[in-house]
Chains A and B, each alone.
Chain A
Amino acid sequence: MNILIMAAWLLLSGDGEHKGGLLDIDPGLIFWTVITFSLLLLLLGKFAWGPIVKTLQEREEKIKNSLEEAEKARRDAESLMAKNNEVLAQAERDAQDIARKAKEAADRLKGEIAEQAKLEASKLIENAKKEIENEKNSALLSLRQQVTEMAVGAAGKIISANLDAGKHKQLVDDFIRQMPSQN
């Protein structure tokens, strides 16, 4: 196959009418292509591709680092939030506990106070009843004494005074008049 192509090549390049046929290989051009390409490879390699590739590598590194850092920051934030949530939940639980305990204590206290108040009230009532009883007794006693005295006085007066009808009536009236003042 190569031989066929070579033959076709020779045929085409053998066009003598034009100086430089389409398929003529000019050695000078080969020389200059090699020189130009080599120089370009050296120059661009040093001044263009080197810095560009270095920049690309730097950028890759930077993006990689940034992503890693962002991931780390995200993880940190997540763990921090979890911790915060934990603390918050604990606080809530504590608050509920405290409220419950306080309520219990208050209830207990309320019960105690009510009990005590009831007790004291009943004691007071008891005392009052006793007092009243005592007062009543002493009043009865003094009444009895006074009634006795009055009866004795009245009897003495009846005895000492004349027992006429007018006097008698006046005596009784006096006595009755005197009664409240002597009480």
Chain B
Amino acid sequence: MITRFFQEPQTGEAAEKVDIGGTILHHITNSHELELPIVGVVKLPHFDPIHIGGLTVDLSPTKHVVMMWFVAVLLVLVFGLIARPRLVPRGLYNFLESIVVFIREEVVRPNFGELTDRYINYFLTIFWFILFMNLLGLIPYGATATGNIAVTATLAVITFLVTQYTAIRSQGLGGFLKHLTGGVHWMLWPIMVPVELVGLFTKPFALAVRLFANMTAGHVVILSLLGLIFVLKTYFVAPVSIAFALFIYVLELFVGFLQAYIFTMLSALFIGMGLHHAHEEHGTAH
């Protein structure tokens, strides 16, 4: 990640030909190769795209897919094998459990109450999945899978589908459709129904863009700050650039946790809202 950055000015014939924008984009976008320590650049196997109807889907693994798998394996290792639950918590498990308890008690329970433990798996998985992807993008040679709009959009769509499924199951299709009218007079339905429909879709859209933008922005800022050294072509800017980049890096650590929390919290809120309408008076809790 960083190595390529520093190699760039040397490989070019003239130092003026440094393509900072291209370098930054290269770091934050997906690719068919991995940059590994010692081994260097590894080309990932490429399969022929599959055609489903009119759609062409390239299923060959990319950098972000590999990062996702790495995160998945890491999570299964950490939670499935290393940190075994104990009645009296200790060590690593104690730390991880405190976060699990936070998600359960502070994020899920306020929205689900008695049903918390029936829905908890989804939120714990999404939280840890996003958190690990966020954080793994911050280590050298890592890539931020959550900095890819396809990943965040997919996760947001999954939350959207779960939201609608839960709402329809707990309110019935009639209740769900009635909710779309916003509980107003039928003459206002032509206005209300599109507004409610738009509201339905803006939620996952905001979820996807928020996570993607936050993860991307931090990396762009760090790389831009370091890029200043090459743009200005002086060593004197290096201490300032590095100090600021370090500051943004630490901020990114915080943002990594924060965005995982926000995604989980909003998912719980949206899904819980569909559930609550079944018990509460219609139209009050929106």
Q: Complex: how many Å from CA A106 to CA B25?
A: 113
Contact residue among B26, B65, B117, B125 (Cβ-Cβ distance under 8 Å from A29): B65
Do B158 and A29 have beta carbons less than 8 Å apart? no
Do A44 and B57 have beta carbons less than 8 Å apart? no
Contact residue among A32, A54, A58 (Cβ-Cβ distance under 8 Å from B65): A32
Assign chain A's interface to a size class.
35 or more
- Chain-B contact segment, one of A15-23, A77-85, A131-139: A15-23
A116 close to chain B: CB less than 8 A: no
Do B86 and A31 have beta carbons less than 8 Å apart? no
Do A39 and B100 have beta carbons less than 8 Å apart? no
Of B121, B128, B201, most buried by chain A (CB within 10 Å of CB) is B121
Of chain A, the residue at the smallest CB distance from B85 is: A55
Of chain B, the residue at the smallest CB distance from A47 is: B80
Do B29 and A20 have beta carbons less than 8 Å apart? yes
Q: Which residues of chain A (44-72) have a CB below 8 Å from chain B?
A: 44-45, 47-59, 62
Q: Label chain A's interface by main secondary structure.
A: helix
Q: Number of contacting residues on B, CB 8 A? A: 55
Which residues on the B side are within 8 Å of A20 (C-beta)? 29-31
Which residues on the A side are within 8 Å of B149 (C-beta)? 22-25
Known interface pairs A18-B29, A28-B60. Does A53 touch B104 (Cβ–Cβ under 8 Å)? yes
Q: Label chain B's interface by main secondary structure.
A: helix
Which residues on the B side are within 8 Å of A21 (C-beta)? 29
Do A49 and B124 have beta carbons less than 8 Å apart? yes
Do A47 and B201 have beta carbons less than 8 Å apart? no
Which residues on the A side are within 8 Å of B87 (C-beta)? 55, 58-59, 62
Ordered nearest first, which 4 A-B pairs have the shortest CB separation? A48-B79, A55-B85, A45-B121, A33-B154
Q: Which residues of B contact A (CB under 8 A)?
A: 22, 25-26, 28-31, 49, 55-62, 64-65, 68-69, 72, 75-76, 79-80, 84-87, 97, 100-101, 104, 117, 120-122, 124-126, 128-129, 148-151, 153-155, 158, 198, 201-202, 205, 216
Q: Which residues of A contact B (CB under 8 A)?
A: 1-2, 5, 18, 20-34, 36-37, 39-41, 43-45, 47-59, 62
